[in-house]
């Protein structure tokens, strides 16, 4: 009922609750076999190895071929050393708080076997101290006690989520855990209930029934049965002071009792203590048997001195009601330890005091609890823990009990409480606490839940229980086996059927590569991408062969080739997106897709923008010069920005081949549920692909606006309708791509990736049909301009000098206008001229100049078309005449 508050104290109050263990010393392997476990060897440094470093089941069961999974406390090269294996599943590491008594140690170790060896969940143990170590798989096999800080570790677990992020330095060590195996009664601790509600899920039963209280050595009760009840203790100052003497530390014995300072061995001490740790020991097997003696507190002859017998109380960092019960029941006993406030003893000293009492046959009384290792160790002996009967607990008594948050700093009056609070401790069904954040860490992520990759750890912690009978069996194993690790591992092997009850349904699992040979979506995505690539190549070939036709000339062959280049790059990217991914193909696919879309759309946008500028200038009767280098430079600048973004993406957070798991209903030969593995491409931060997709959408919106603005341009130069139709098609397919991102978490990523590949391929083929097919099928007479130029060509066939005469007349008109303007300029004030230019309508000269310039442009266009057709006609005639005629013509030309 009280040990759950051990950690709710300031850091300066904590004391180590047990001696720090070191690796077992040895000279030969036989020393380790007998002192540690079979399979342990004597290492070069003279210490025994941990035979269970690679796993209990791996060491104990010949049929168990898998080593445990690695955890954060293993060396970085643990896999290469053969210590452990990398988990097939990316499960978060779970950390279990060991508190500071043995039953929790054993429960934590059993959980480590279930999690790390049977279910592939990395697990470690949090002792609450930088120095203390307790991991089952630690190479030195430590068995060290740390402070208990309960819900503080859960608080850090909730804040950090993954306890591997916790600070590990000696000065700023940050204890962190997800699970506390034993939580004793907190029903009347308001401040504890608040912490439970904020840091832990509703408590679940651990299955253990425990109780704290007053205990006395059984042989003492056999000698004086009145010691078994509080009625035989009330007011018995002299009796208790005479029977229950004070335990003596090894140092005090040598300094205050031994006549030679322990320089000569006697029946109590074989030597003086050597280290500071030894000085405070109460019992050391083979070296110090312990000693109980009278002190001034036992002397009832001192006037005005209330003599008392001795009772060993908890350390002040644990909650104890012994002092309050002794005071209100008038039982003259007190503790004499060096703990502030309660004058209690450390955990290790409490255990040594009882062993010393057994070794010296001294009467001993202590505040203790069960189930517990020491309690079980002496069960059935004449030194077993005999519980002293106190007045039974009532609801009123429990309500009146003074639960103090800081026992070490509380005053004596605060510790004593009221008379109504004096009663025995009731049996308690021990609970367990799970960090409140662990459920969400297990089942929730940004896009939902993937059942195949869900860790079983949370469910194991909920299912795990152990009763008093099994705990008693574990203590028996501990007594029989040479080491606690050997005891736990053997108990797990002997109780596999019981342990397997805590494995959730559909576990354990084993991975198996998915069979892609019969996946129709794989072949469809690659086939569609290949078809799109082929169509782009064919279209480019035809465009190049027809580059002198009017439709291709008007559409600008350079820009058509840029658009086709973008479409081809996009088609190749769609093939990579649908194929089996690798780290390189993941990066290449995004480069090709994003750059391909940009190269396909930007030339169209630049071209339509230029047409819009020309038309706008003509409406204002202005002349505009469009340089081909400027237009191509704009395309290059935008493409450079895209390349820069892709480069940053590749350097900072490149798309990587990521494993995806699919839960099947099949099992392998070992009975493990098969989880099929597949792969897709993903960056750590999904903002990168979202930005890339957003860029494509922005290009489509931009192109739509340009097409809308150019809708009134003469249809002979205007592609707004075709462009709008193509952009609409792109919008439809890009919308489908965006929808696939929304389906993440609902549909597996491998399927979504190939769906995107298929969408991109169909998008490319649709763009070819919508934009390029009309250009390729244009015979030159479908437009008004084509018909007019064709008619003009027929009328002027053989009369090319007419163009020169017209050009000369128009040029003369322009010269005349310039001369008249120059004369007029001398007669007009400069201010008036400026006002006319800024506010008035265009001068007649300007209108005439614009008309003449338009005439010159028309003549140039007609001449260019005429030359193109003449060349084509000559080529056709050559083909009709054949090689012989061509040769004859060439010879005639030479003559």
Report pLDDT digits (tens) over 308-348: 999 999 988 788 889 999 999 999 999 999 887 778 999 89
Is the pLDDT at 544 greater than 70, yes or no? yes
Q: What pLDDT is recorded for position 146?
A: 82
From the centroid of its chain, how far is CA 567? 38
Q: What pLDDT is recorded for position 89?
A: 87
Tokens (6 digits) for 169:
């330095």
Is the pLDDT at 811 greater than 60, yes or no? no
Q: What pLDDT is recorded for position 411?
A: 79
Is the pLDDT at 866 greater than 70, yes or no? no
Q: What pLDDT is recorded for position 491?
A: 96
pLDDT digits (tens, 9 = 90+) for 824-847: 555 444 444 444 444 444 454 555
DSSP designation for 92: P
- Greater model confidence, 288 or 798: 288
Q: What pLDDT is recorded for position 422?
A: 86
Q: What pLDDT is recorded for position 739?
A: 86
- Greater model confidence, 450 or 872: 450
CA angle 475, 477, 479 (to 5 degrees): 70
Determine the Cα–Cα distance for residues 613 and 621; give it in Å rounded to an integer: 12
pLDDT band at 858 (very low <50, low <70, confident <90, very high): low
Is the pLDDT at 63 greater than 70, yes or no? yes
pLDDT digits (tens, 9 = 90+) for 107-141: 999 999 999 999 999 999 999 888 889 999 999 99
Is the pLDDT at 28 greater than 80, yes or no? yes
Q: What pLDDT is recorded for position 553?
A: 78
Helix or strand run (H / E) with residue 342: none
Q: What pLDDT is recorded for position 226?
A: 95
Half-sphere exposure of 744 (CA within 13 A, CB side): 16
* Average pLDDT estimate for 871-889: 52
Tokens (6 digits) for 702:
């931009």
Mutual angle of helices 102-112 and 468-480, in 10-degree steps = 90
Q: What pLDDT is recorded for position 192?
A: 55
Is the pLDDT at 716 greater than 70, yes or no? no
pLDDT band at 417 (very low <50, low <70, confident <90, very high): confident
Torsion of CA 467, 473, 475, 476, to 10 degrees: 170
Q: What pLDDT is recorded for position 408?
A: 67
- Greater model confidence, 492 or 863: 492
Radius of gyration of the chain (CA): 46
Determine the Cα–Cα distance for residues 594 and 599; give it in Å rounded to an integer: 9
Q: What pLDDT is recorded for position 502?
A: 95
pLDDT digits (tens, 9 = 90+) for 364-400: 999 999 988 899 999 999 999 999 999 998 888 877 7
DSSP E strands, 171-203: 179-183
424, 213 in Cβ contact below 8 A?
yes
DSSP E strands, 671-828: 673-682
Is the pLDDT at 683 greater than 50, yes or no? yes
* Average pLDDT estimate for 66-73: 95
Cβ contacts of 738-743, under 8 Å, gap ≥ 24: 738/693, 738/697, 741/689, 741/690, 741/693
For the chain, which domains are there? 17-146+435-505 (no CATH), 218-428 (no CATH), 517-778 (1.20.1070.10), 787-820+843-894 (no CATH)
What backbone phi and psi angles, to 5 degrees, belong to 276? -60, -35
* Average pLDDT estimate for 592-605: 85
Tokens (6 digits) for 223:
């000698």
Helix ranges restricted to H, 579-621: 583-619
- Greater model confidence, 218 or 527: 218
Determine the Cα–Cα distance for residues 380 and 499; give it in Å rounded to an integer: 28
Residue-averaged pLDDT of the chain: 81
DSSP E strands, 720-853: none
* Average pLDDT estimate for 422-427: 87
The full DSSP string for 618-670 is HHTT------HHHHHHHHHHHHHHHHHHHHHHHHHS--EEEEEEEEEEEE-TT
* Average pLDDT estimate for 862-879: 58
* Average pLDDT estimate for 417-426: 86
Q: How far is CA 133 from CA 20, 73, 126, 162, 566, in A?
A: 9, 10, 8, 19, 61
- Among positive and negative, which fits the CA dihedral 37, 42, 47, 52? negative
Q: Which of 37-46, 551-560, 858-867 ranks highest by mean pLDDT? A: 37-46
pLDDT digits (tens, 9 = 90+) for 277-286: 999 999 999 9
**Cβ-based neighbours of 37, under 8 Å, separated by 6 or more:** 51, 52, 481, 482, 483, 485, 486, 489
Helix or strand run (H / E) with residue 5: none
DSSP designation for 512: E
Count of positions (residues) in the chain:
895
pLDDT band at 712 (very low <50, low <70, confident <90, very high): low
Q: Which of 722-726, 797-801, 851-855 ranks highest by mean pLDDT? A: 722-726
Report which of 459, 442, 432 is spatially closest to residue 162, judged by C-alpha positions.
442
Is the pLDDT at 14 greater than 50, yes or no? no
Query: Beta 673-682 vs 509-513: how paired, if at all?
Result: parallel
608, 710 in Cβ contact below 8 A?
yes
The percentage of residues in the chain with a pLDDT greater than 70, rounded to a whole number, is 78
Phi-psi region of 798 (alpha: psi -120 to 50; beta: other; left: phi over 0): left
Is the pLDDT at 670 greater than 70, yes or no? yes
* Average pLDDT estimate for 434-463: 82
- Among positive and negative, which fits the CA dihedral 514, 519, 522, 527? positive
User: Using H for helix, E for strand and C for coil, what is the string for 658-697?
Assistant: EEEEEEEEEECCCCCEEEEEEEEEECCCCHHHHHHHHHHH
Q: Is the overall model pTM greater than 0.75, yes or no?
A: no
Torsion of CA 838, 840, 842, 843, to 10 degrees: -110
Q: What pLDDT is recorded for position 872?
A: 59
Q: What pLDDT is recorded for position 868?
A: 61
Three-state secondary structure call for residue 19: coil
Q: What pLDDT is recorded for position 231?
A: 94
Three-state secondary structure call for residue 125: strand
- Greater model confidence, 2 or 507: 507
**Cβ-based neighbours of 320, under 8 Å, separated by 6 or more:** 2, 313, 314, 342, 344, 367, 407
Q: How far is CA 776 from CA 368, 570, 804, in A?
A: 96, 21, 33
Is the pLDDT at 194 greater than 80, yes or no? no
Is the pLDDT at 822 greater than 80, yes or no? no
pLDDT digits (tens, 9 = 90+) for 209-259: 998 999 999 999 999 999 999 999 999 999 999 999 999 999 999 999 999
pLDDT band at 268 (very low <50, low <70, confident <90, very high): very high
What backbone phi and psi angles, to 5 degrees, belong to 334? -155, 160
pLDDT digits (tens, 9 = 90+) for 143-187: 988 876 567 899 999 999 999 999 988 888 999 999 999 988 655
Report which of 533, 514, 619 is spatially closest to residue 573, judged by C-alpha positions.
533
Cβ contacts of 625-628, under 8 Å, gap ≥ 24: 628/558
- Greater model confidence, 729 or 462: 462
Is the pLDDT at 71 greater than 90, yes or no? yes
Half-sphere exposure of 670 (CA within 13 A, CB side): 13
* Average pLDDT estimate for 404-428: 78
């Amino acid at each position: 009922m009280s040990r759950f508050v051990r950690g709710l104290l300031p850091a300066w109050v904590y004391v180590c609750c047990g001696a720090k263990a070191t690796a077992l010393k040895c000279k030969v392997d036989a020393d380790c076999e007998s002192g540690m476990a079979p399979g342990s060897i004597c290492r070069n440094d003279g210490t025994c190895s941990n035979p269970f470093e690679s796993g209990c089941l791996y060491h104990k069961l010949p049929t168990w071929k898998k080593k445990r999974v690695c955890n954060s406390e293993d060396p970085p090269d643990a896999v290469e050393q053969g210590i452990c294996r990398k988990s097939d599943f990316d499960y978060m590491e779970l950390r279990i708080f060991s508190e500071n008594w043995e039953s929790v140690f054993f429960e934590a170790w059993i959980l480590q076997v279930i999690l790390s060896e049977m279910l592939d969940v990395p697990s470690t143990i949090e002792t609450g101290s930088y120095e203390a170590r307790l991991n089952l798989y630690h190479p030195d096999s430590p068995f060290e006690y740390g402070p208990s800080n309960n819900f503080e570790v859960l608080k850090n677990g909730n804040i950090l989520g993954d306890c591997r992020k916790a600070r590990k330095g000696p000065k700023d060590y940050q204890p962190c855990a997800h699970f506390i195996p034993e939580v004793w009664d907190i029903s009347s601790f308001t401040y504890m209930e608040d912490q439970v509600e904020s840091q832990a899920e509703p408590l679940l039963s651990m299955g253990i029934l425990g109780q704290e209280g007053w205990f006395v050595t059984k042989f003492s009760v056999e000698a004086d049965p009145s010691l078994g009840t509080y009625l035989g203790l009330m007011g018995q100052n002299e009796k208790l002071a005479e029977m229950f003497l004070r335990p003596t530390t090894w140092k005090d014995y040598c300094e205050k009792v031994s006549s030679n300072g322990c320089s000569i061995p006697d029946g109590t001490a074989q030597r003086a203590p050597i280290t500071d740790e030894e000085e405070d020991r109460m019992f050391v097997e083979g070296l110090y048997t312990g000693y109980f003696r009278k002190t001034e507190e036992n002397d009832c002859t001192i006037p005005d001195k209330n003599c008392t017998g001795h009772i060993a109380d908890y350390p002040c960092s644990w909650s104890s009601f012994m002092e309050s019960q002794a005071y209100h029941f008038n039982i003259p006993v007190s503790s004499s330890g060096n703990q502030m406030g309660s004058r209690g003893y450390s955990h290790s000293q409490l255990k040594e005091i009882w062993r010393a009492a057994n070794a010296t046959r001294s009467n001993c009384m202590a505040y203790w609890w069960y189930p517990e290792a020491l309690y079980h160790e002496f069960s059935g002996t004449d030194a077993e823990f005999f519980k002293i009967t106190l007045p039974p607990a009532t609801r009123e008594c429990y309500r009146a009990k003074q639960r103090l948050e800081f026992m070490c700093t509380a005053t004596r009056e605060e510790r004593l409480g009221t008379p109504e609070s004096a009663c025995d401790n009731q049996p308690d069904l021990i609970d367990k606490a799970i960090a409140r954040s662990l459920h969400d860490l297990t089942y929730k992520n940004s896009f939902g839940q993937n059942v195949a990759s869900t860790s079983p750890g949370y469910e194991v912690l909920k299912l795990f229980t152990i009763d008093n009978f099994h705990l008693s069996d574990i203590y028996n194993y501990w007594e029989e086996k040479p080491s606690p690790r050997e005891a736990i591992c053997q108990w797990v092997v002997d109780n596999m059927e019981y342990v397997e009850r805590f494995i959730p349904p559909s576990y354990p699992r084993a991975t198996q590569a998915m069979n892609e040979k019969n996946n129709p979506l794989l072949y469809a995505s690659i086939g569609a991408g290949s078809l799109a690539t082929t169509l782009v190549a064919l279209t480019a070939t035809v465009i190049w062969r027809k580059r002198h036709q009017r439709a291709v000339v008007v559409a600008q062959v350079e820009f058509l080739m840029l658009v086709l280049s973008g479409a081809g790059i996009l088609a190749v990217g769609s093939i990579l997106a649908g194929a089996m991914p690798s780290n390189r193909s993941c990066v290449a696919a995004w480069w090709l897709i994003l750059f391909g879309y940009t190269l396909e759309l930007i030339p169209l946008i630049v071209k339509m923008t230029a047409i819009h500028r020309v038309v706008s200038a003509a409406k204002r009767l202005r002349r505009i010069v469009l340089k081909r280098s400027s237009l191509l430079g704009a395309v290059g600048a935008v493409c450079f920005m895209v390349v820069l973004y892709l480069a940053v993406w590749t350097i900072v957070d490149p798309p990587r081949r990521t494993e995806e798991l699919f839960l099947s209903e099949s099992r392998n030969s070992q009975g493990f549920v098969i989880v099929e593995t597949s792969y897709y491409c993903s960056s750590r931060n999904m903002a990168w692909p979202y930005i890339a997709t957003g860029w494509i959408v922005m290009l489509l919106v931009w192109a739509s606006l340009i097409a809308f603005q150019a809708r009134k341009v003469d249809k002979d130069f205007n592609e707004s309708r075709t462009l709008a139709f193509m952009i609409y098609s792109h919008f439809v397919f890009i919308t489908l791509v965006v929808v696939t991102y929304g389906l993440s978490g609902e549909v597996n990523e491998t399927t979504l990736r190939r769906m995107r590949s298929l969408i991109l391929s169909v998008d490319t083929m649709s763009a070819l049909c919508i934009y390029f097919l009309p250009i390729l099928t244009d015979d030159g007479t479908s437009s008004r301009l084509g018909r007019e130029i064709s008619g003009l060509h027929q009328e002027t066939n053989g009369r090319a000098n007419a163009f020169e005469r017209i050009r000369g007349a128009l040029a003369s008109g322009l010269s005349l206008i310039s001369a008249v303007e120059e004369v007029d300029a001398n007669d007009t004030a400069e201010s008036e001229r400026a006002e006319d230019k800024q506010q008035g309508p265009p001068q007649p000269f300007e209108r005439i100049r614009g008309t003449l310039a338009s005439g010159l442009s028309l003549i140039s266009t007609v001449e260019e078309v005429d030359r193109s057709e003449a060349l084509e006609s000559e080529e056709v005639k050559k083909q009709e005449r054949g090689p012989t005629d061509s040769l004859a013509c060439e010879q005639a030309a030479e003559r």
